[in-house]
Amino acid sequence: MLSKLFPPITALSLAVVFSFFASEAKTVHASATLPGEELARAYCGACHHYPEPDLLDRKTWERYVLPRMGHFMGIYTNAQQRDTLIEAGRAEALIRAAQIFPAEPTIEAADWQAIQAFYLALAPERLVVDSLVTEPGAPFKARFPNLFFSPPSTT
Ligand code: HEC
């Protein structure tokens, strides 16, 4: 009885062991292979709501928001930049203690590249503003009373 059961049990435990190693291997390489969107959902979504790339035009992502979010993850354009971001005075100690601008990157360089590439690839060149009001003042219409004060009264 036991000898009949033994091979399946062995096979099963080997399968478990191998699947464990297989998943280990996946975990190790995950950060290099995850697509930019998943990385963005994980990293950007860790601090606030995940923002879709089409919320801003490409230049705004590239020149303003991505570099600024990089600062929050310890990514700076040069060695001095971090100090210029940390204001002097009473706030300085608090900002440093809270590691608002970390001294070391908190994200792998490859992951940061993938996130930036994702935003820049999907961001629109320009934001669509069709739905915005194009007439000055619309949908409201200015109506002037027959008698009005100049300068206008606020009460
Ligand atoms: C370590 C925390 C942190 C991470 C990670 C982070 N953000 Fe932010 N984000 C903030 C904070 C704090 C603000 C508030 C405004 C500020 O100080 O710029 C903000 C504001 C924003 C804004 C509003 C515009 C602005 O400058 O205020 C956008 C858009 C944004 N983040 C996108 C992203 C994207 C995209 C990522 C991922 C690449 C990201 N954030 C990662 C903390 C973070």
pLDDT at 143: 80
Rounded average pLDDT over 51-74: 97
pLDDT at 18: 40
Rounded average pLDDT over 28-37: 63
Distance in Å, CA 116 to ligand 1 centroid: 13
pLDDT at 153: 64
CA distance 50 to 43: 9
CA distance 103 to 106: 9
Nearest CA to ligand 1 atom 26: 65
Distance in Å, CA 88 to ligand 1 centroid: 22
- Ligand 1 mutation pick, 38, 44, 49, 71, max ligand atoms within 8 A of CB: 44
Share of the chain above pLDDT 90, in %: 58
Sign of CA dihedral 120, 122, 123, 124: positive
Burial 27-64 (b: 16+ CB within 10 A, else e): eeeeeeebebbebbeebbeeeeeeeebeebebeebeee
Six token digits for residue 8:
């399946």
- Which residue has better confidence, 149 or 40? 40
Do 77 and 67 form a contact (C-beta atoms < 8 A)? yes
pLDDT at 45: 97
- pLDDT greater than 60 at residue 42: yes
Q: Is the peptide bond before 139 cis (omega within 30 degrees of 0)?
A: yes
Distance in Å, CA 74 to ligand 1 centroid: 13
Residues touching ligand 1 (Cβ under 6 Å) are 40, 43-44, 46-48, 51, 65, 68-69, 72-73, 115
> pTM for this one?
0.71
Q: Is 84 exposed, middle or buried (0-12, 13-18, 19+ CB in 10 A)?
A: exposed
One-letter amino acid of 13? S
- pLDDT greater than 60 at residue 149: yes
Distance in Å, CA 60 to ligand 1 centroid: 13
Q: Which pLDDT tens digit goes with each residue over 105-129? A: 999 999 999 999 999 999 999 997 7
pLDDT at 37: 96
